[in-house]
Amino acid sequence: MSQKQNYILEVQNLSKNFSGVKALDQVQLKIREGEVHALMGENGAGKSTLMKILAGMLTPDSGEIVFEGTPLHSHRDLKILSAGIAMIHQEMLLVPELTVAQNIFLGKEIRRGKTWWLDDRSLNQKATELLAQVGIALDARTLMKNLSVAEMQMVEIVKAISKNAKIIIMDEPTSAISDKEVKSLFNIIADLKARGVAIIYISHKMDEIFQIADTITVLRDGKYIQTKPAAELNQDSLISLMVGRELDTMFPEHTEAKGNVLLSVQGLGRQGKFSDINFEVSAGEVLGIAGLMGAGRTEIARAIYGLDAIDTGNIFIRGQKATIKSPQDAIKNRIGYVSEDRKAVGLVLGMSVKENITLASIKKHKRGLFVDDASERTAVANMIEALRIKTPHPDQPVKNLSGGNQQKVVIAKVLLSSPEIIILDEPTRGIDVGAKFEIYKLVKDLAAQGMAVIMISSELPEILGMSDRILIMAEGKQTAILRKTEATQEIIMQYAMPQ
Amino acid sequence: MKDSIPNLAQNKPRVNLNIGKYGLLVALLVLCTALTIITPKFLTLPNIMIILTQVTINALLAFGVTFVIITGGIDLSVGSVVAVTSVVTATFARADNYPLVVPLALGLLVGLAFGSLNGLAITKGKVPAFIVTLGTMTIGRGLALILSKGRPISNLSDSFNYIGSGNLLGIPLPILILIVVFIICTLLLRKTIMGRYVYAVGGNEQAARASGINVNQVKLFVYTLGGGLAALAGIILTSRISTGQPNVGIGFELSAIAAAIIGGTSTSGGVGTITGTLLGALLIGVISNSLDLLNVSSYYQQVVMGLIIIGAVLLDSLNKNKRN
């Protein structure tokens, strides 16, 4: 397949600054027809910026872009890019109240001749054809809102195909879908390759990369590092290219020092979400919660934290029955929660790093009627240093930070509310290898300091590497609690599969 | 690494280049300069006092509305609250029947009650703010007409009338009140925990809730504050015109929202300042005064005002797009 030497896209010396910060510095990228080209790098390496430029959402400051042999110079030329390159977004850009067909042809509706009337029949027909071509079993007339995340992604892909896109950018396409769905996604990718469509694939999951990528380009700190055929790299060499150093072990040393039971739940249930959940977590312990998407893991965390109500069962904090009806109650009971969705639940994106870090603990920085600015800044500076949050300034809007650093801001916020029990929901989702390692280390440190940690994760190696015990869920029920020594990926998957 | 901590804590070059805010100040100054050149009547002490007194009412309402809009809400009821307050206050301020404190306290109470009613319906009843305040706007207007039997209430006591007409060191009392309220609101929004929460709730309500912020309490606070400030405006207005008027304040809510929006408050929440709103109110005041001075019919004035609202937001969003 790599015999096709003709590049559809050649990017040279591309640079882009954001208010003085070099997001991209002389970057290059060459995409061949029909290849899967993985773009790798830690968060903040410049992948997103590069992709946004290619999708026509941002204009570069300087550099050359040649698309299908045509050099693109002006702002207007770049429009050609958005016609030929489609991006499957992490945040889906689909209209929930419209049907699959209507979404696919959104903006290119089929009319009856030259009139303004819509031709729904041929719209549905064409959509059905496209879906069949790619081998997706979906009714074109289903409303978007009734689809699963994976199905929505498929619709996005079909939409890209309908535009005759030459390149499809997939940004973390498997971050929210099940293993089975990943398989069908990979089948679709293979099909796209066969038609000569190139895929730019961004993912933090190493096994995926080596499974499907033909070529890998690595960026680091906004700079181009290397492009190599995937076959010439392995996980270790790729990671060291990405982080610029060797990572010896992914998971920090384990120390088992269990203390008293801090949290226990009995018979916990919430209508339609989960039922009969029983477990306990002790000081110094990490309890992993594994399971497939939709198994009810996040819902349990939200219920313990008081974000959603529980219908049955009890929560005990240090042996005492606790009533937790709101996050305020949870914080009073020294529970902290780092949400899986940092943009929607974790952060106020428009506020500064400082304001986000102290959002849950600002009452500790009070002088008379006012906020004590000096003590707030000291607390923030300490957190920025302790968690090594990379930000030019505490007053920087948090939305300008990379995903990994945003995640650290959320963790800092939760830590400042002085929890003894901390629930981390997919704490490493969408963040890069280096930051992942730091977060693992941090989690172990928290446990070592005597916190009870609950960590929800969809990544099995992470669950196995981090947990002392593992609770496994399937379809809202708890199917097993295993000790670390009893668990393997296969055993966990057996318990996690719906019966 | 250690050495950088004090740096982080001390440096605070607030990276807050709010182009909208400075743009507004520049626009205001340019307009004033132009008016001074065009008409000699503009830059005279009496005219300035007229403008400021007129601005006072709108600015007080707009401060309250700013808090509400920053939390992502809206308050359409403030104009009607002005009317109810006016009627209630005037009823008890007649002919020295009661000590001055009675009409003032009752007036404020009416405003606070309306505000907290709005807040409760929005937070506990989960009714959208637009609907709730549309309802209380109509209720308020109706109550004002019922309580006054549709007639203006005149013959108010001298001590009450002094609030709107008196002055201290040559400065009219309403303007002094405005300055005091401006300072309090600015400090409240920028320096207190409640102020921080107001921004957080508007910026991302879910995240605010997950951070242990009592979102309902914050919302209840801003609507109650808005009602209270509307009552204050109603009292000042009643005193200035020496009459309780059930028909007063129609459309005031729109001017107040306009001032907040021209002043850079974002209707999607999380963004806005009291200073911006004050500048917005001043700009509206100066423009309508200049149109008066230039003998432009009040019909045209409304058209101009509408264009300015859209223009201000347009400029701001163009600015934002450029920065992105």
What ipTM, to 2 d.p.? 0.83
Minimal-distance CA residue of chain A relative to B193: A371
Q: Which of A344, A355, A384 sits opposite B196 (nearest CB)?
A: A355
Residues 77-136 on B with a CB inside 8 Å of A are none
Q: Is residue A330 domain-shared with residue A441, that is, in the same domain?
A: yes
Would the CB atoms of B5 and A381 count as touching at under 8 Å? yes
Each residue's pLDDT tens digit, B93-147: 987 678 889 999 999 999 999 999 999 999 999 999 999 999 999 999 999 999 9
For position B122, what pLDDT does the model report?
97
The model's confidence at residue A250, banded by pLDDT at 50, 70 and 90, is low
Q: Is residue A107 domain-shared with residue A21, that is, in the same domain?
A: yes
A253 located within any domain: no
Q: Could you tell me the two tokens for B276?
A: 């911006």
Q: Which of B1, B15, B207 sits opposite A347 (nearest CB)?
A: B207
d(CA A496, CA A468): 18
A232 located within any domain: yes
d(CA A232, CA A393): 40
Query: Which chain A residues are within 8 Å of B320, Cβ to Cβ?
Result: none
Q: Is residue A233 domain-shared with residue A140, that is, in the same domain?
A: yes
Residue in B7, B8, B187, B320 to test binding to A, most A beta-carbons within 10 Å = B8
Place of tokens 């790299």: A233
Q: Which of B203, B207, B271 sits opposite A345 (nearest CB)?
A: B207
Mean pLDDT (whole number) for A269-277: 93
For position A45, what pLDDT does the model report?
79
Q: Which of A344, A345, A371 sits opposite B196 (nearest CB)?
A: A371
A191 located within any domain: yes
A488 located within any domain: yes
d(CA A229, CA A232): 6
Residues of the domain holding B223: 45-269
- For every residue of A318-366, DSSP letters joined together read TTEEE---SHHHHHHTTEEEE-S-IIIII--TTSBHHHHHTTTTGGGSE
The model's confidence at residue B323, banded by pLDDT at 50, 70 and 90, is low
Residues of the domain holding A58: 7-243
Q: Domain holding A410: CATH number?
A: 3.40.50.300
Nearest to B77 by CA among B115, B126, B108: B115
Would the CB atoms of B196 and A362 count as touching at under 8 Å? yes
Mean pLDDT (whole number) for B152-177: 90
Q: Is residue A20 domain-shared with residue A166, that is, in the same domain?
A: yes
For position A492, what pLDDT does the model report?
87
B292 located within any domain: no
A301 located within any domain: yes
B315 located within any domain: no
For position A337, what pLDDT does the model report?
96
Mean pLDDT (whole number) for A318-340: 94
In total, how many domains does chain B have? 1
Q: Is residue A199 domain-shared with residue A272, that is, in the same domain?
A: no
d(CA A71, CA A57): 18
- Contact status of B270 with chain A (Cβ, < 8 Å): yes
Mean pLDDT (whole number) for A113-130: 88
Nearest to A156 by CA among A110, A104, A107, A85: A104
Would the CB atoms of A327 and B206 count as touching at under 8 Å? no
A486 located within any domain: yes
Minimal-distance CA residue of chain B relative to A341: B207
The model's confidence at residue A83, banded by pLDDT at 50, 70 and 90, is confident
Starting at the edge strand found earlier in the chain, the sheet holding A274-282 runs: A274-282, A261-270, A312-317, A320-322
A178 located within any domain: yes
Q: Which of B2, B11, B193 sits opposite A371 (nearest CB)?
A: B193
For position A311, what pLDDT does the model report?
94
- Contact status of B213 with chain A (Cβ, < 8 Å): yes
B137 located within any domain: yes
d(CA A482, CA A467): 10
In total, how many domains does chain A have? 2
DSSP state of A224: E
Would the CB atoms of A377 and B15 count as touching at under 8 Å? no
B25 located within any domain: no
- Contact status of B36 with chain A (Cβ, < 8 Å): no
Q: Which of A305, A349, A393 sits opposite B15 (nearest CB)?
A: A393
Each residue's pLDDT tens digit, B246-257: 999 998 999 999
**A58-84: string of b/e by CB count within 10 Å (b at 16+)?**
bebeebebebeeeebeeeeebeebeeb
d(CA B120, CA B117): 5
d(CA A414, CA A425): 13
A199-203, A218-222, A309-313, B55-59: which range is least confident on average? A218-222
A155 located within any domain: yes
Distance from CA of A327 to the nearest CA of B (A): 5
**Contact criterion met (CB below 8 Å) for A31 and A167:** yes
- Contact status of B17 with chain A (Cβ, < 8 Å): no
